[in-house]
């Protein structure tokens, strides 16, 4: 006698299509959150269209009139980066959860090490020293560190559930403080806020006392006030936003560009204000979308990001492993926070941050780092379909 699954109804049809395939690829296909895959594929497709629309403006700005920069130069390069990034996402999402956790811890240590090296061997771009060059290319260590940092902090905080005596809160605070100081040296005020914000979020999700969170909130406000008075980058950004000084021209130009297309846009390739934007293909690509495809398209993109965040958080409600809850929630909140900050800058309700719109903005380092982070999110949100069977699925004993 042996027990085999006899699938009836919708689940039975799925079984005949290969649910019995126990290879690594077969398990991945049935365990992965396919809706998340579809949503991120839609974002990448939108990004290609948006980069194609912004590419002529970026090429004109950075070529200085050189014929070597074709109008779709950045679009072709984005195709290349996507061809590298998508396999990275799929490969990471196929990792077993323990392996993904261990590699994240190792990777976090490596990229924190790179942050220490940035002041010595980093390359300066637009007044900021954030990149490390390797051969003909360069990468931004902080972009790759974000998802690895989140997984590492989630793991450390989850250990406290097993042994409450472990000093994980001060330890994670120390790690976050070191990262924040290294980022502020670059300077990179926007990502400093992201790292600290995610740490506080994970503390809250891990069950930290509300009194302690209130103290952290007050300390955060005090830190921003001190940064305004003693950190020149923060002073310039805040003054520019509040008093229309310094680089406020950028966000004002972005808002004018975004609203120029009205509800339905000027049409693909018909935008003209995008040629006045300083970074039309990266920081301000959301404004280019608004000009050429309309405010309706911008709202649709915002809803798409909200759907991804909500989808993951709802799945985490049914997860019992504390580490998986913290890692999944942290990764998707960082993803959503980055999107929210970029869109807020474009609509002139936040100071300029130099932060890309996930999977839509142009960028090699950003695209590969985001794919790695989303791959981790897919890996941690994978579920065994046999543990969540449909009521249509029954089993019976069958003689061989």
- Is residue 119 within 8 A of residue 141, CB to CB? The reply is no
In a domain, 12, yes or no: no
Q: Between residues 325 and 398, which one has the greater pLDDT?
A: 325
Assigned domain for 120 exists: no
pLDDT bin (cut points 50, 70, 90) of residue 400 is: very low
Domain assignment of residue 379, yes or no: yes
Residue-wise pLDDT for 195-239, tens only, equals: 999 999 999 998 888 888 888 888 888 888 888 887 777 777 777
The number of domains in the chain is 1
Q: What is the mean pLDDT of the chain?
A: 84
- Output DSSP code: residue 275: G
Instruction: Give percent of the chain with pLDDT exceeding 90.
Output: 47
Give the span between the Cα atoms of 161 and 153, in whole angstroms: 14
| More confidently predicted of 8 and 56 | 56
Does 377 reside within a domain?
A: yes
pLDDT value at residue 241 = 65
Please give the Cα distance from 381 to 328 (Å, whole number): 7
Q: pLDDT value at position 68?
A: 57
Is residue 128 included in any domain, yes or no? Answer: no
pLDDT at 51: 94
The answer as to whether 4 is a domain residue is no
86-104 pLDDT tens trace: 999 999 999 999 999 999 9
Does residue 291 fall inside a structural domain? Answer: yes
> Which residue, 371, 360, 359, is CA-closest to 293?
360
Quick one: pLDDT at residue 245? Answer: 53
Considering only CA atoms, which of 40, 22, 39 is closest in space to residue 31? 22
Question: Is 113 among the domain residues?
Answer: no
| Minimum mean pLDDT range among 106-110, 220-224, 381-385 | 381-385
Q: Which residues contact 58 (CB under 8 A, 6 or more apart)?
A: 73, 74, 279, 280, 281, 362
Q: Are residues 371 and 358 in contact, defined by beta-carbon separation less than 8 angstroms?
A: no
Rounded CA-CA distance 217/229 in Å is 19
This prediction's pTM: 0.85
Q: Which domain does 204 fall in, by range?
A: 26-63+71-100+170-398
Q: Which helix (DSSP H) or strand (DSSP E) does residue 130 occupy?
A: strand 128-134
């Amino acid at each position: 006698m042996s027990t085999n699954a006899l699938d009836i109804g919708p689940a039975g049809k799925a079984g005949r299509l290969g649910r019995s395939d126990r290879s690594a690829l077969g398990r991945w296909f049935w365990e992965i959150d396919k809706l998340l895959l579809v949503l991120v594929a839609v974002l990448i497709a939108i990004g290609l269209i948006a980069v194609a629309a912004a590419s002529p403006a970026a090429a004109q700005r950075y070529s200085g009139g050189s014929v070597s920069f074709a109008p779709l130069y950045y679009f072709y390069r984005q195709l290349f980066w996507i061809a590298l990034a998508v396999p990275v996402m799929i490969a990471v999402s196929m990792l077993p959860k323990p392996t993904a956790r261990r590699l994240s811890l190792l990777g976090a240590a490596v990229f924190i090490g790179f942050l220490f090296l940035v002041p010595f061997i980093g390359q300066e771009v637009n007044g900021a020293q954030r990149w490390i060059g390797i051969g003909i290319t360069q990468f931004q260590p902080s972009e790759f560190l974000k998802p690895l940092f989140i997984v590492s902090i989630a793991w450390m905080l989850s250990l406290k559930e097993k042994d409450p005596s472990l000093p994980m809160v001060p330890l994670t605070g120390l790690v976050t403080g070191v990262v924040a100081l290294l980022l502020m040296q670059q300077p990179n005020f926007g990502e400093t806020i992201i790292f600290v914000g995610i740490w506080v979020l994970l503390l809250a999700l891990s069950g930290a006392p509300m009194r302690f969170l209130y103290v952290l909130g007050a300390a955060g406000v005090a830190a921003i006030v001190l940064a305004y008075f003693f950190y020149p980058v923060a002073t310039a950004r805040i003054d520019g936003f509040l008093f229309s000084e310094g680089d406020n021209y950028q966000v004002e130009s972005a808002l004018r560009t975004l609203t120029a297309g009205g509800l339905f846009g000027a049409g693909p390739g018909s935008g003209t204000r995008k040629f006045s934007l300083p970074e039309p293909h990266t920081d301000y690509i959301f404004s280019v979308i608004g000009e050429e495809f309309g405010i309706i398209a911008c709202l649709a993109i915002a809803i798409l990001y909200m759907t991804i965040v909500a989808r993951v958080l709802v799945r985490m409600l049914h997860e019992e492993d504390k580490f998986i809850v913290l890692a999944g929630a942290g990764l998707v909140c960082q993803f959503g926070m980055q999107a929210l900050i970029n869109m807020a800058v474009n609509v002139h309700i936040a100071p300029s941050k130099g932060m890309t719109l996930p999977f839509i903005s142009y960028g090699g380092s950003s695209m590969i780092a985001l794919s790695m982070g989303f791959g981790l999110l897919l890996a941690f949100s994978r579920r065994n379909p046999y543990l969540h069977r449909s009521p249509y699925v029954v089993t019976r004993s069958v003689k061989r």
